[in-house]
Structure 1
Amino acid sequence: MIYKNAILFLLLLTLLSCKTTVHTDENLEKAKNVILLIGDGTGLSQISSAFYFKETSPNFARFNSIGLINTSSSQQNITDSAAGATAFASGIKTYNGAIGVANDSSEVKTLVEIVSPKNIKTGVIATSSIQHATPASFYAHVINRGLYEDIAVDMVHSDIDFFAGGGRKFFNKRKDGQNLLGDLEAKGFGIDTLALGNFEEVKQYSKMAYILAEDSMDPVAKGRGDFLPKATELGIQFLNKDEEHSNFFIMIEGSQIDWGGHANDADYLISELIDFDDAIGVALDFAEKDGNTLVLVTGDHETGGFTLSSTPKQTEEGKSYSDYNEITGTFSTTGHSATLIPVFAYGPGSEAFSGVYENTEIFHKIMEATNWSNRD
């Protein structure tokens, strides 16, 4: 008995002498930069199409942390892009059509407005007009997403440091006769309305705007080319250029995946999705080298009820059958659907994006992963 007690005593001393490490949130590395890529109208089937139709390996396959979000708005089971993006940008549910305002139409602070005073650079990129619902939700406040000229004014008054997309006419061909391009220049913007430049040509500017179409950009299949991946690379370089204030947040939207869904045009949708996947690759390449960047990829909702079904065919005798060796993109609606949407995360804090949660949690999880809320 004495021998057993001696053994237990020695074991207790050994345990007490061991150093104990307590893992708390403070021990976890915080992200210094965030790249949020939003595939408008992009659900799981849209993403799956890259695995069947892209000639190279999809960049979606490079993620380990994957979750799902519920995208309903405050008043509707099925969200639109305005309410969906406001949830990402401000962490609140609002009604369809609302941009940067709550359910009672009061203004809510966006992520851009929260972090810009903390010397964190910000940017938005889209293949639509830059005043379209998703990009607008990160810097504007209007009760109706169709108020494009008001949204353009909000862009001028915002703290955005870099933007690229279409929507030139809402700056310089306005009903009120104003030319807001001059106002952008007065705020220190370099402005290019012709084509994306290279970093060496624009690095001297404090802010940069590429406004490359009167309204929306052309589809990738009709001449837009590799605008989205190139703008992604240029935006990251520009926002990361100042050594003292190199932290940044950028939102990049593959806008026209949604439009292919609305049109029930599988070729349009898939070509836009593959282009979006190329932009994801640019973001991941930067994040892998940088080591301090959180990359998030998600969609605001699904459009078209899109699925990848077997191709219907007929035998010589006229009998119908399904060819399970061939895939065809099919649709069940020309509108949005209520399906849960995947979230892909890479980098510091990425583990928090696994699981199933509301779309508003994207905002809150970003703030937690970066600790930007507590930054002076």
Structure 2
Amino acid sequence: MKKKIISLLLVIGLLFTGCKNTTSKSSEKVVLDNEKELAKNVIMIIPDGMSVDVLALARWYNGGKELNVDSLANGLVRTYSGNAAITDSAAASTALATGNKSENGRIGVLGEEYTMPGIEKVAEEDKSKPVASVLEGAKLQGKATGLVATCEIMHATPAGYSSHSLDRNDYNTIGEQQVYQNMDVVISGGSKFLSPEEREDKEDLKKIINEKDYNYVESKEELEKVKEGKVWAMLAETALPYDMDKNEDDISLAEMTSKAIELLSKDEDGFFLMVEASKIDWAAHANDPIGIISDALAYDEAVGVALDYAEENKETVVISVTDHANSGITLGNRTDERKNISEYMEPLSKAKLTGEGVENKLKENPEKIEETIAEYFGITDLSEEEIAEIEKAEEGTLNAIIGPMIAERSGIGFTSGNHTGGEVPLFIYTPEKVEKLSGTIENTDIPKYIAKVFGFDLKEVTDTLFVNAKEEFEKIGAKININTSDENNPVLEVTKDNTKIEFPENKNIAIKDGKTIELTGVTVYNGKDFYLSKDAIELVK
């Protein structure tokens, strides 16, 4: 693809009146000026919820072998959100993707009231406004973009790079925006949430994905066959299994990362890829050290894949940082008197599955608690009280029951079952010509650095993609109406002179004279205002 260098301020082309196609584009290929580009590619890898002690734990579990990330440590990252000392994954992802602090629970939008010291108040007109991500900026540059995650793709971290919502749990909004973002590679779980039966708006997102000429696949085998073009891989109904729980038909995070790089690197303009090892966080919430170790090592293997590519390619920056710490995990607890590392590792090494994997085994033989725990979790001395706890465990919670049991036997300590607010390590690899981020930095500094590497400004991307529709249309005398006759599918209707244009929420399209026109960005409605890309505004002028 030959890149056309165009100013960030959009130059609107033909409006396609009289066009024979039912779908057209509202402008020329919109690309940011990349004269200051320092590297063609950026790979961002997020081990969600990974506290610093996990590195030591994973390293010792793996026989003391050096981790791929060990040589990349270059600083510390502060993780607080706009309204809390301890962030959630939504506000953290918003910070890491857009360069803006927000409030816990929000995805890709600004907050209302910030309470943490040192954070500027949000201007009244900017409250709950969507803000652009580095993925969206890279897309404007003409780069290929992709997301890889072991959770469902609508979960907080991948959502922060690809959608804008006041509520992290609003999978209807998040999933639809993701489909209309026109990313090149999506490899994750979450097929369940593409189905009209699971969606309040009854949209069939799988059908739309296929209409957009993706290779839609639902298995490792199918994904391996994809050699070119766009791919949307939904490899589980919800989240993928922990790495330790995989069977031969399941894919590893390293394999997912490798396939994403293989496909994205075919774009001569470069690419942006975000990879998340999602379930380290889930295991930390459960205080399950086996789940934590399982996916921390899987994460490190994915880092190795990215590093191998970057070292050979010589035009790629690799950044890795967790969004927040979780659980206060420590090697050693309050009563621990162990000295030899083998005394810590021996109980852990006997486990063949994570707590989640053991639960699946118990479903097959619920009456065989002691035998199953002994075989798959390595605990042979369950007390009567522990057996009773296991018997009473609700579905989906066994890892939070037996995780602490193996932790106690291994001298592993936890202070919490929730996120914690300390700094987290920064890992970075750059080509020789690119200066590394270093020191103690804010999480919001990372996307600003990525934007600098790519040669664009995130504020300008936001100004291009998210214009307040009411304010702009009032300036030109256009009338607007928010049609909520279908409350789950609001539509902005804009009328000027004898022309009426419709902008459906969460899509990157406008409907004019019966024709569908593709826009530069997705249309976002925050319950009060619609935000449109600049080329959408130009359609009405």
Contact 1:203 1:241 in 2 (8 A): no
Out of 71, 83, 106, the position equivalent to 1:62 is 71
Aligned to 1:294: 317
CA distance in 1, matches of 2:147, 2:56: 26
Q: CA deviation at 1:153?
A: 0.4
Contact 1:311 1:324 in 2 (8 A): no
Q: Deviations over 1:14-59 (max 9, x none)?
A: xxxxxxxxxxxxxx98111000000100121122222211244311
2:301 aligns to what SS in structure 1?
A: helix
Kindly report which structure 2 residues correspond to 1:77-96, keeping only aligned pairs within 5 A, or say none.
77-96=85-104
Residue 202 of structure 1 contacts residue 208 of structure 1 at CA under 8 Å; is this kept in 2? yes
Find the aligned partners of 1:197 and 1:45 in 2 and give their Cα distance: 37
State which of 174, 181, 186 in structure 2 corresponds to 1:151: 174
1:42 to 41, 44, 50: 50
| Alignment counterpart, residue 165 of structure 1, candidates 180, 188, 191 | 188
Which residue matches 2:140? 117
Q: 1:30 aligned to 2:55?
A: no
Distance 1:272 1:344 in 2: 17
In structure 1, distance between residues paired with 2:334 and 2:128:
47
Equivalent in the alignment of 1:338: 421
CA shift for structure 1 position 97: 0.7
Query: Could you tell me which residue of structure 1 aligns to residue 444 of structure 2?
Result: 360
Give the counterpart of 1:73 among 81, 97, 118. Answer: 81
Counterpart Cα distance in 2 of 1:341 and 1:274: 17
Q: Could you tell me which residue of structure 1 aligns to residue 454 of structure 2?
A: 370
| Shift, 1:249, TM fit | 0.4
**For residue 71 of structure 2, what is the amino acid of its counterpart?**
R
Q: Alpha-carbon deviations, 1:107-144, whole Å to 9, x = none?
A: 11111211212111110110000000000100111101
Residues 225-244 of structure 1 mapped to structure 2, 5 A cutoff: 226-242=251-267, 244=268
Is structure 2 residue 338 aligned with structure 1 residue 255? no
Task: Identify the range of structure 1 (219-228 vs 31-40) with the bigger mean alpha-carbon deviation.
Answer: 219-228
CA distance in 1: counterparts of 2:251 and 2:231, whole angstroms: 19
CA spacing shift, 1:141–1:111, aligned 2, 3 Å: same
Stretches of structure 2 lacking an aligned partner (at least 5 in a row)? 1-35, 112-126, 345-410, 462-541
Residue of structure 2 equivalent to 1:105: 128
Cα distance in 1 between the residues matched to 2:412 and 2:186: 33
TM-score by length of 2: 0.59
Task: Note if 1:192 corresponds to 2:217.
Answer: yes
Question: Aligned match of 2:227 in 189, 193, 203?
Answer: 203
Relative contact order (C-alpha < 8 Å, sep 6+): which is higher?
1
* Alpha-carbon contact 2:217-2:235 (below 8 Å) kept: yes
TM-score, normalization by structure 1:
0.85
CA distance in 1, matches of 2:141, 2:453: 16
Matches within 5 A, 1:124-143: 124-143=147-166
Give the distance between the partners of 1:251 and 1:32, measured in 2 at CA: 15
Amino acid at match of 1:323: K
Q: Is 2:305 the partner of 1:282?
A: yes
Conserved? CA contact 1:196–1:231, under 8 Å: no
Which position in structure 1 is the counterpart of 2:338?
A: 322
How many residue pairs were aligned? 339
Point out the more displaced range, 189-198 or 262-271: 189-198
Q: Aligned match of 1:178 in 198, 203, 221? A: 203
Q: Distance in 2 between matches of 1:279 and 1:358?
A: 25
Deviation at 1:226, TM superposition (A): 4.7
In structure 1, the gaps of 5 or more residues are 1-27, 314-320
The worse-fitting range, judged by mean Cα deviation, of 32-41 and 223-232 is: 223-232
Q: CA 1:229/1:196 → structure 2, altered by over 3 Å: closer, same or farther?
A: farther
Going from structure 1 to structure 2, the CA distance change for 1:96 and 1:310 (only over 3 Å counts) comes to closer
Q: Structure 2: how far apart are the matches of 1:369 and 1:329?
A: 40
Pair 309,88 (structure 1): closer, same or farther in 2 beyond 3 Å: same
Asked if the contact 1:101–1:143 (Cα under 8 Å) also holds between the matched residues in 2, the reply is yes
C-alpha distance in structure 1 between counterparts of 2:178 and 2:328, whole Å: 33
Q: Distance in 2 between matches of 1:275 and 1:226?
A: 11
Change (3 A) 1:114 1:366: same
| Identity level (%) | 34
Quote the Cα distance in structure 2 between the aligned partners of 1:108 and 1:323.
50
Bigger mean CA offset, 324-333 vs 210-219: 324-333
Q: How far did residue 149 of structure 1 move?
A: 1.9
Give deviations 1:192-230, integer Å, cap 9, x for gaps.
01225466x32342x101101111111222226552100
For the structure 1 residues 61 and 196, does the alpha-carbon distance in structure 2 shift closer, same or farther, using more than 3 Å as the test?
A: farther
Q: Deviations over 1:335-368 (max 9, x none)?
A: 0001101110001376431100110000111112
